[in-house]
Structure 1
Amino acid sequence: MSAVTTAPAPVNAERTGRRVEEVLDRLAASGDPAVTTAAEELVRSLMDFYGAGLARVLHLLSTAPGDPAARLLGDELVASLLVLHDLHPEDRDTRIARALDSVHEHALDVVDFDEETGTLTLRARESGGGCGCGSGADARQAAEAALTCFAPEVTVVELKAAPTLLQIGTKAR
C-alpha cells in the first residue's frame, strides 16, 4: 500500500524557516540577482501551494457532510500533496480509477499500465451508441489533467478508440 503507517519525521518549523532564510542569504551573496529572484519565487510558489492545500484541508473537514477521509482523498489539491509525499493511503490502481471517475464527460477504461515507462493505455467507451468519432484528444487531455493530481506516476496517456460498430442490414431490392 503506502507509507501512511510509518510516522513522519518530526519537523521543527522554526529551524526549517531559519534554514530557508540561510539558503536564500547564500544565494543572494552569490551576487547573481537572477538566481536570488528565482529562489525567492520558488519559495513563494511552494508556500502558496502548501498554504492552499492546508486551507483546502480545513475547508473540507469543516464544511462538507460525510466521510472526511473520502472528501480529502477526492480533492485534487489534497490528493496531489499526499501523493507527492508518499502519504496517500490508496494504491496506484485505485488512484487511477479515482482520477478517471473525475473525468465525467468521457467514459474511459484502463487497458494497461507499463510501470517502466509510466504509460497508461486507456480505451474510450462509446456513450450512447455513436459513430466512434468522439474527440479522443479531449478525452486524453482530460485524463492527463486528472492523473497529474491523483497518479503522477502516469507520465504518458495513450488512448485507444472504442471499436466501431458497423450497421449490417439487408439490401433493398
Structure 2
Amino acid sequence: MSAPTTARPVDAEQTGRRVEEVLDRLAGSDPAAAAAAEELVRSLMDFYGSGLARVLHLLSDAPGDPLAVLLGDELVASLLVLHDLHPEDRDTRIARALGSVREHALDVVDFDEESGALTLRAGESSGCGCGSGASAREAARAALACFAPEVTAVDVRTGPSGPALLQIGTGPAGPTGTR
C-alpha cells in the first residue's frame, strides 16, 4: 500500500482549540493524568518543533527560494509561529496575512503590543461600508490566526483615511442680503 500523496487538510486554529479542550477535561478529572497529558504535549511539541527547525535549515541551503512556498502555506506558517521559528517578523507576517484577504483592501493603522489588538482601515475596494467592516474583520481574523496569532483582536475602521474635508464657502449674508 502506497503512502498518500497529500495530507488530510487540518485547520490549525480548530486543532489548537481541540487540544486545549482535551487538556481541560483531563485537568478536571485526575491531576496526575492531567500532568502526564501536559508533559506528553510538551514532548511532542519539542519533537516536531526540532523537526521543523531542521526543515528550515535544510531548505535555506536549497537552490532557489523554496522557503517562500513554505512561508505562504497556512499550516506550515502556523507551526513555525507556534514554535517561534518563523523567520519573518510580526509586521511582515501581518502584511502577508492581510495580503491573502483579497476581497478587502486592508491597511494597518496600529498594533497594540500589550493587548494584541490590531486596528485596520478598510480601503475603498472593501465596499460601501454597510456591513463590509464586519466581513473584513472576520476575513482578517481568520488569516491572522495562522500567520500572526499574537494578534488577539481585530478592529476594522471604514471611511476616509485622511483628515475630514472642510467645506469652504462664502460667509453668511450681510444686512443688505449680499455676501
Matching residue within 111, 115, 118 for 1:117: 115
The percentage of counterpart residues that share the same residue type is 76
**Whose RCO is larger (CA < 8 A, sep 6+)?**
1
* Secondary structure, aligned partner of 1:81: helix
* One-letter identity of the residue aligned with 1:159: V
Q: Give the alignment of 1:2-151 within 5 angstroms.
A: 67-127=65-125, 131-151=128-148
* One-letter identity of the residue aligned with 2:144: L
* One-letter identity of the residue aligned with 1:143: A
**Aligned match of 1:23:** none
| Deviation, structure 1 residue 113 | 0.3
* One-letter identity of the residue aligned with 2:136: A
User: What is the number of residues matched between the two proteins?
Assistant: 122
| Deviation, structure 1 residue 138 | 1.1
| Deviation, structure 1 residue 134 | 4.8
- Summarize deviations over 1:77-100 as a string: whole Å, max 9, x none: 000000000000000000000000
* Secondary structure, aligned partner of 1:106: coil
Structure 2 unaligned regions, length at least 5: 1-28, 162-179
Task: Calculate the TM-score normalised by the size of structure 1.
Answer: 0.56
**Aligned match of 1:157:** 154
Task: Calculate the TM-score normalised by the size of structure 2.
Answer: 0.55
| Deviation, structure 1 residue 109 | 0.3
- CA radius of gyration, larger in: 2
Report the Cα distance in structure 1 between the residues aligned to 2:79 and 2:124, rounded to whole angstroms.
Answer: 34
- Summarize deviations over 1:50-81 as a string: whole Å, max 9, x none: 7xxx8xx8xxx9xxxx7310110001100000
Report the Cα distance in structure 2 between the residues aligned to 1:141 and 1:125, rounded to whole angstroms.
Answer: 16
Report the Cα distance in structure 2 between the residues aligned to 1:151 and 1:161, rounded to whole angstroms.
Answer: 22
- Summarize deviations over 1:18-45 as a string: whole Å, max 9, x none: xxxxxxxxxxxxxx68x96xx88xx79x
* One-letter identity of the residue aligned with 1:163: P
Q: CA RMSD in A?
A: 3.4
Report the Cα distance in structure 2 between the residues aligned to 1:108 and 1:97, rounded to whole angstroms.
Answer: 9
8 Å CA contact 1:108–1:123 kept in 2: the answer is: yes
